[in-house]
Amino acid sequence: MAREPVAKKVVELLPMAYSAAAGPLEATITGNDIAREHVAVDLLPVATGTIQPTDVQFTPDGSTMLVLEKKGKLRWFSTTDESSGVVTEIPVKIASEEGLLGLVLHPAFEDNGLFYLNYVIDEGGEDVSVVEEWTSSAADMRGQVSASRRILSLVQPYANHDAGQLQFGPDGMLYIGWGDGGLRNDPKGSGQDRTSWLGAMLRVDVDHPTGNLPYSIPADNPFLSDPDTRPEIWAYGLRNPWRYSFSPDGRLVMADVGQDLWEEISIVPAGGNMGWNVREGFHCFPPEGSCPGPDDLIDPIYEYGRDEGNSITGGYVDTSGEEKLNGLYIFGDFVTGRLWAIDLPQTGAPTPRTLGRWPILPSTFGRDTLGRVYVADFGSGTIYRVQASGS
């Protein structure tokens, strides 16, 4: 058997062996966090019973919380009573980091009922990531839903680094972030290969299909005039963006999972080279190598090392108006259960605040229509609202 199929099979068989620390749901302050400002928060359970949650979204009217499960279910939870149910279930591949991974509602969802899913399936013997448009018959997502059309698909060479986030920007365009394809060290060089969607952030217009495509390329995409770059690419040099969101001022804030040493948060500009696999965080990759200077690569705005965590999970800016959290970008580490909050200055480095280390596996975050931030525990399946203590 050739080396690549063996490597692919090894990745598929690797277990997800992470487990949260046992004990009551209380935060501890340890390590570097001791010297940081501490914003005391409570994690208030708002939903239980999900299995390995991967995304949390809310309908525009605020009546329904939507939760994706890695194994293929899209669930709904009422925000006004204790009712819940299953919207739909998709037969997905679930090896390693595959599964049902991303959900976003169309900006005009209340009028057109459109939403979009990102998931991994077996298609012709290959692992394929699919971004698909769906239609809901009800504004609360509790009616009939059906798949409308495939927007795009991408063959995944390995079962890890599938990313899976979907977001509409304030410009109405759909942003699709892909990992580098997996394994280790970016063996296919995808991060710096602009002829591939792997390792790139795409930006497409799903409202105006053109030609044979179910979308059009926005006229201001940065590489339209470059024959050596896929025109859908907005930025490149990504390893495994988990996850990204837009700040209130419209900036794209991305958390990119590191390999051996550094986890990072970046502001992603049009045409930006985010560094992988030339750099990991602010540092050359491999560490003993050399890499282009900051004129060629976009520096992250924040990083942390293996003394603090092993796998970053990006979140959202709290826009609730609550004094202690409002305006802060809340994120966490999937392995250690640490939660942090940073400001997002236009220039200079942000100031990290600790929200404590919790006995959870923060797999994804969400934000409701009131601007409050939620965190999902991959281990217990509980969804929590992050609330400043005493609020």
* Mean pLDDT within 54-68: 98
* 3-class state of residue 267 by DSSP: strand
Provide the residue range defining the domain that includes 335.
Answer: 30-388
For the ranges 9-13, 71-75, 243-247, 326-330, the lowest mean pLDDT is seen at 9-13
Of the listed ranges 1-5, 348-352, 376-380, the least confidently predicted one is 1-5
Q: Is residue 191 part of a domain?
A: yes
Residue in 382, 370, 383, 14 with CA at minimum distance from that of residue 183: 14
Is 287 part of a structural domain of the chain? yes
CATH number at residue 180: 2.120.10.30
Q: 130 has which bridge partners? A: 119, 153
The total number of structural domains in the chain stands at 1
State yes or no: pLDDT of 19 exceeds 90: no
Alpha-helix residue ranges (DSSP H) falling in the chain:
3-13, 109-112
Q: Is residue 10 part of a domain?
A: no
Whether 3 shows a pLDDT value over 50: the answer reads: no
Measured between alpha carbons, how far is 246 from 315 in angstroms, rounded to an integer? Answer: 10
Residue 303, Cα to own-chain centre: how many angstroms? 17
Query: Residue 23 falls within a domain, yes or no?
Result: no
When the pLDDT of each residue in the chain is averaged and rounded to a whole number, the result is: 94
Q: Nearest Cα to 196, choosing from 228, 167, 166, 164?
A: 228
Q: Is residue 13 part of a domain?
A: no
Asked if residue 328 is part of any domain, the answer here is yes
End-to-end CA distance of the chain: 60
Is residue 298, in this structure, part of any structural domain at all?
Answer: yes
Report the candidate in 107, 98, 143, 43 with the shortest Cα–Cα distance to residue 388: 43
Task: Assess if residue 316 is contained within a domain.
Answer: yes
For 244-275, write each residue's pLDDT tens digit.
999 999 999 999 999 999 999 999 999 999 99
Residue 31 has pLDDT above 90, yes or no: yes
d(CA 240, CA 159): 12
Average pLDDT score over residue span 41-56: 98
- How far apart are alpha carbons 236 and 190 in whole angstroms? 9
pLDDT of 12 reads 54
Cα 190 from Cα 199, distance rounded (Å): 6
